[in-house]
Amino acid sequence: MTVTENLGILPEWDLSDLYPAPDSPELENDLMAAETAAGAFNRTYAGKLAELDGDTFAAAIAEYERIGEVMYRAASYAQLLYAGDQTDPERGRFYQGIQERVTLISSHTLFFTLELNRLDDDVLAAKLSSPKAKRYAPWLRDVRMFRPHQLSDELEQLLHDQSVTHGAWSRLFDETMARLRFPMGDKVLTSAEALHLMSDRDPATRKAAAQSLGKVLGENAPLFSLITNTLAKSKEIDDKWRKYPRPQSFRNLSNQVEDEVVDALAAAVRGCYSQLSHRYYKLKAKWFGVERLDYWDRNAPLPTDADRTFNWDQARDSVLGAYGAFSPDMAVVGKRFFDNNWIDAPVRPGKSPGAFAHPTVTTVHPYLLVNFQGKTRDVMTLAHELGHGVHQVLAGVQGGLMADTPLTLAETASVFGEMLTFQSMLAAETDPVRRKALLAGKVEDMLNTVVRQIAFYQFESLVHDERRRGELPAERIAELWMSVQTDSLGPALRFDDEYKWFWTYIPHFVHSPFYVYAYAFGDCLVNSLYSVYRAGTVPDFPVKYLDMLRSGGVHRHKELLAPFGLDASDPEFWRKGLDVVLGFIDELEAM
């Protein structure tokens, strides 16, 4: 733990629930056992799936799941250890080494899903007459979605083995960002600290932080451009061989959401730019007494905001109190993260910036990483990541193969947790000035989640489309970035030249292309879901909500939302979600 003067005692995660240490015999024994089991699995089942009876088929899937749990436990430990300090070369070496060993072990089990997808539908249906095999039907459904895009076994093996070198580009990005330092007067900051200061109360501090970020990112833009071009080209090659119709198709398929649904979401948000971001930032400029806001003032606290600082205990109590008011059972699960050091909270040099929830494996528990600095947004980030953590714990009952939720629905629990916390804090606030600041902060968070993420999605689409015609210079990527930013954020914002490099620090573009729309999907979905909850039209809403989380990846979005009377394939669905944001802006204008 880290003791601070203003924030209290900040927890640091205890990874010993996974392994005692990188050189522990437990880790080495697990890897050796997994390698032995994977080899035996290959010898027992490769080329024989079609002839297995239903119960033996189910036993094969269960063994595949068990071997995967062992591998992913080791991989999760390496990833979390590395996230704690990405500038430590020994941690980087360990992380790479574990990735390579897991890739080697999993090469023995790669045949399994490839052979599954070659089974005729009637052969598979006969096996699913076994109750033991039928349990895995949702996982088999999801595996077989990729049948039209599966390559030969030899090509699949090649791509699998090359994934280690492909992942090295992501590692290069992470380590570069972790090592960058941003000078501000007599201070030298990490990216997390510099980005945090862009919401500081002092205008000069915000400006200095923004300009330092832009300058340093610009100096490193050639490297970030090379990473972006290389990964986009690699994706283009993969998409061509697998016959995906467009760059977004793989992500949509893996998210179990139709291209048309994502197109409808993006179109709905872009169609509301003028009513959402353009309108709000014009209002904010008025509050600041200017015609146009400088970009570093976009997330600035309001002039009347007292800029409250929360210590860790206050943040914890705010989040757990909001969770408990909705569902005591949800708060009980959430409390375990605080009681058992499953959260890493302090800002440290080298630590992964931003925040995430890592599910690890269902036989252990998730871990959360935040960079807590005491702002209201940090409380909301904690509520967000704890929502992921609660979801991952509850879905763990489905087992390793079916606990994972598509990214679109993975953001539902996190954004719902944020909404519960915000509404709880808003209801408790009686001072009109502070209430206005809370409401404005929530609107800005929603704009960052909806408008900004759809703009990111549009930017990625432009970059990947244009990359197919040749490598993009850093300046061209910056031009695409600026065109999307000015369109989405509107005329009330002024951008200085250094802002054109801000695309370089966003990790989703590197790690998970086209992931970003999942945030907007989740936010709009939660807005609609929360409206149903507040209306009281669905009996036992909290019980149904927790049941939805427990289902993990068993059901698709249509099945999950049906108990709440919602349908994401309805074009009007997205407008209902956006109307919640519009209502908050209406309330601010009335103030």
Q: Where does CATH 3.40.390 sit in the chain?
A: 312-433
One DSSP character per residue, 109-157 reads TTHHHHHHHHS-HHHHHHHTTSHHHHTTHHHHHHHHTTGGG---HHHHH
CATH code for residues 312-433:
3.40.390
Q: What is the separation, in whole angstroms, between the first and last Cα of the chain? A: 42
Give per-residue pLDDT as tens, 484-526. 999 999 999 999 999 999 999 999 999 999 989 988 988 888 8
d(CA 545, CA 415): 13
Give per-residue pLDDT as tens, 468-480. 999 999 999 999 9
Amino acid at 191: S
Can you read off the two tokens belonging to residue 497?
């030249």
Backbone region of residue 289 per phi and psi (left: phi > 0; alpha: psi in -120 to 50; beta: other values): left
3 state DSSP class of 181: coil
Angle at alpha carbon of residue 183, lines to 171 and 508, rounded to 5° = 30
- DSSP H or E stretch at residue 590: helix 571-590
Place of tokens 């909850």: 533
CB contact at 8 A, 551 and 395: yes
Place of tokens 């289902």: 551
**What is the signed CA dihedral for 271, 276, 281, 287, rounded to 10 degrees?**
150
Identify the CA nearest to 355 among candidates 341, 345, 340. 345
d(CA 21, CA 579): 50
Beta-carbon contacts of residue 37 (< 8 Å; ≥ 6 apart): 63, 66, 67, 70
d(CA 205, CA 222): 27
**In what order do the strands lie in the sheet containing 367-369?**
343-344, 367-369, 356-358
d(CA 64, CA 27): 19
pTM of the predicted model as reported, rounded to 2 decimal places: 0.84
**What is the signed CA dihedral for 107, 108, 109, 111, rounded to 10 degrees?**
80
Q: Where does CATH 1.20.140.70 sit in the chain?
A: 25-150
Identify the CA nearest to 316 among candidates 349, 347, 342, 351. 342
Place of tokens 């977004």: 248
pLDDT digit string (tens) for the chain, length 591 residues: 676 778 999 999 999 999 999 999 999 999 999 999 999 999 999 999 999 999 999 999 999 999 999 999 999 999 999 999 999 999 999 999 999 999 999 999 999 999 999 999 999 999 999 999 999 999 999 999 999 999 898 998 888 888 878 788 998 999 999 899 999 988 999 998 999 899 888 999 999 999 999 999 999 999 999 999 999 999 999 999 999 999 999 999 888 888 888 888 999 999 999 999 999 999 999 999 999 999 999 999 888 776 678 999 999 999 999 999 999 999 999 999 999 999 999 999 999 988 999 999 999 999 999 999 998 889 999 999 999 999 999 999 999 999 988 776 788 899 999 999 999 998 998 888 888 888 998 999 899 989 999 999 999 999 999 999 999 999 999 999 999 999 999 999 999 999 999 999 999 999 999 989 988 988 888 888 998 999 899 999 999 999 999 999 898 888 888 999 888 877 778 888 899 899 999 999 888
| In CATH, 25-150 is 1.20.58.220 | no
CB contact at 8 A, 587 and 439: yes
3 state DSSP class of 518: helix
What is the DSSP pairing of strand 367-369 with strand 343-344?
Answer: parallel
